[in-house]
């Protein structure tokens, strides 16, 4: 069966109609196979063998609706177009409720058939792309993809792995640039809500009037310029997660509406008197001291306790010095992939400076500095001179007479990477019960490389 052509299965007890549809669809570049026996078609049908099914509704022995149910039981996501000469509203509703994508009424023009087929296949392609994107996101935000091996980060990951599966409000705290939204995304994509949307809003980026309408939506005519009703982000996130970044910047009137939602699971759009109910998990984050804001009358205490059912505090990068070489290697790898460059890493002196630096902008600053360094670096490794153009380096850093003392407790870049790789492979082998083939696949290695690494690091299988 040709792999480059879309494959369409035709089911109709009228052999002449089958031949006609086959000819039309083949002329338009599709691969087709037709059955005049619905029982035989269902019997031969296998999941993933076809991209689309077209079936008549009224057939002897087995109706089109029975065919629809039988095929959907084998492959629930395949689009099915139903054909009928006696279309009624009731019949159409039945077919659509049982999973039909579209209805086509006899007699139909060839162009109409091709148009309906193209629409159905495009819809399927969109659904497949959405599934692939969702799978990619879930893989990206797996807890074991968060870079770092420091005790502080391990403690955070252990905590969020426990709370992710519980549908409770979480407040993520930490300095700007520590990765609060990354943690919120990891919580969402490891929760029962992972198939629904993750919607984020920066509460400090919008003026008060826009923020309220953005969150809760508004009814047509609620204010000047409201020419039509509009959903807010709460409704957009229905079934999923809403992330409120910099929640400390919420104005008092918005805090009041948000509190009501957290208590009652309903809210009113601006200008609407009818409550709207949605099912949304609220995650929030702040880099400010909300307890101090409560004392100053800038934040509601009752809202604070509703948002802060569980607190996750992210340590600043200066408290995660051992993670800096790993993060640096990760960002260099990403930039090399993006721009097809071949920077190997940092020179030893530059890496020592990198690890000693206080990083007031935390991980975000580190990422930006590495990207800037790779833009102008002409050598194979990022040098001290290149690094000094983007962070303030003290004269004695990396060149003092106590260099031996400075390096005593520092982990060399390559050693840190090897330690990280050995730990990762050991964990994968434990996860797969010593199955080297399965561990190699998850690590993205071939078997020969996996065996070589096991021998190199002395890992016990």
Residue 40 has a pLDDT of 94
Residue-wise pLDDT for 133-166, tens only, equals 666 655 655 665 678 778 888 888 889 889 999 8
Tell me the pLDDT band of 399, cut-offs 50, 70 and 90: very low
Q: What predicted TM-score, i.e. pTM, was given to this entire model?
A: 0.62
User: What are the φ and ψ backbone dihedral angles of 301, each rounded to 5 degrees?
Assistant: -65, -40
Model confidence at 413: pLDDT above 60: no
Mean pLDDT of all residues belonging to the chain: 86
Domain range list for the chain: 7-135, 141-315, 318-411, 416-457
**CATH number of the structural domain 141-315:** 3.40.50.300
In degrees, rounded to 5, the angle at the alpha carbon of residue 208 between the alpha carbons of residues 225 and 238 is 80
Beta carbons within 8 Å of 53's beta carbon, 6+ residues apart: 8, 9, 11, 45, 71, 78, 79, 80, 81
Residue 238 has a pLDDT of 94
The structural architecture, per CATH, of the domain 7-135 is 3-Layer(aba) Sandwich (3.40)
Rounded CA-CA distance 324/356 in Å is 10
Are 7-135 and 141-315 equal in CATH topology?
yes
Domain 318-411 class in CATH: mainly alpha
Model confidence at 6: pLDDT above 70: yes
Residue-wise pLDDT for 359-391, tens only, equals 999 999 999 999 999 999 989 999 999 999 999
Residue 442 has a pLDDT of 78
CATH topology of domain 416-457: Arc Repressor Mutant, subunit A (1.10.10)
Residue 400 has a pLDDT of 42
Residue 409 has a pLDDT of 43
Beta carbons within 8 Å of 133's beta carbon, 6+ residues apart: none
Residue-wise pLDDT for 238-267, tens only, equals 999 999 999 999 999 999 999 999 999 999
Residue-wise pLDDT for 42-85, tens only, equals 999 998 899 999 999 889 989 989 999 999 999 988 999 999 88
* Residue 200, burial from CB neighbour count under 10 angstroms (0-12, 13-18, 19+): middle
């Amino acid at each position: 069966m040709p792999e480059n052509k879309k494959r369409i299965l035709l089911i109709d007890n009228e052999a002449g109609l089958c031949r006609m549809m086959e000819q039309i669809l083949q002329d338009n570049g599709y691969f087709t196979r037709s059955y005049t026996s619905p029982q035989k078609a269902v019997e031969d049908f296998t999941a993933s063998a076809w991209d689309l099914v077209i079936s008549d509704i009224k057939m002897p022995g087995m109706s089109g609706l029975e065919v629809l149910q039988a095929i959907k039981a084998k492959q629930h996501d395949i689009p099915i177009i139903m054909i009928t000469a006696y279309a009624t509203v009731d019949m159409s509703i039945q077919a659509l409720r049982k999973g039909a994508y579209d209805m086509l009424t006899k007699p139909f023009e060839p162009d109409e058939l091709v148009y309906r087929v193209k629409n159905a296949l495009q819809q399927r392609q969109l659904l497949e792309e959405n599934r692939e994107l969702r799978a990619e996101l879930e893989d990206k935000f797996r807890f074991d993809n968060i870079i770092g091996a420091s005790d502080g980060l391990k403690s955070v990951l252990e905590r969020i792995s426990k709370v992710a599966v519980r549908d409770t409000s979480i407040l993520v705290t930490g300095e700007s640039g520590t990765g609060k939204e990354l943690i919120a995304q990891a919580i969402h994509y490891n929760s029962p809500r992972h198939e629904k949307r993750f919607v984020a809003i920066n509460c400090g980026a919008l003026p008060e009037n826009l923020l309220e309408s953005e969150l809760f939506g508004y009814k047509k005519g609620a204010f000047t310029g409201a020419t039509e009703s509009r959903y807010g982000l709460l409704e957009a996130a229905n079934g999923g997660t809403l992330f409120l970044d910099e929640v400390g910047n919420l104005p008092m009137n918005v805090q009041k509406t948000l509190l009501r939602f957290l208590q009652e699971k309903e809210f009113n759009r601006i200008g609407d008197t009818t409550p709207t109910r949605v099912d949304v998990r609220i995650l929030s984050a702040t880099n400010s001291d909300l307890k101090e804001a409560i004392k100053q009358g800038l934040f509601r205490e009752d809202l604070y306790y509703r948002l802060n059912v569980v607190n996750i505090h992210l340590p600043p990068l200066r408290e995660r010095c051992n993670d800096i070489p790993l993060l640096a290697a990760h960002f260099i790898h990403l930039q090399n992939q993006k721009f097809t460059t071949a920077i190997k890493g940092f020179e030893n002196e530059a890496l020592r400076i990198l690890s000693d630096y206080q990083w007031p902008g935390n991980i975000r600053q580190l990422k930006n500095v590495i990207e800037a360094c790779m833009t102008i670096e002409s050598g194979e490794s990022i040098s001290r001179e290149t690094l000094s153009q983007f962070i303030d380096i003290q004269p004695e850093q990396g060149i003092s007479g106590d260099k031996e003392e400075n390096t005593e407790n520092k982990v060399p870049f390559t050693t840190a990477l090897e330690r990280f790789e050995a730990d990762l492979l050991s964990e994968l082998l434990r996860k797969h019960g010593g199955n080297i083939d399965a561990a190699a696949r998850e690590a993205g290695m071939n078997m020969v490389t996996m065996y070589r690494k096991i021998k190199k690091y002395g890992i016990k299988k």
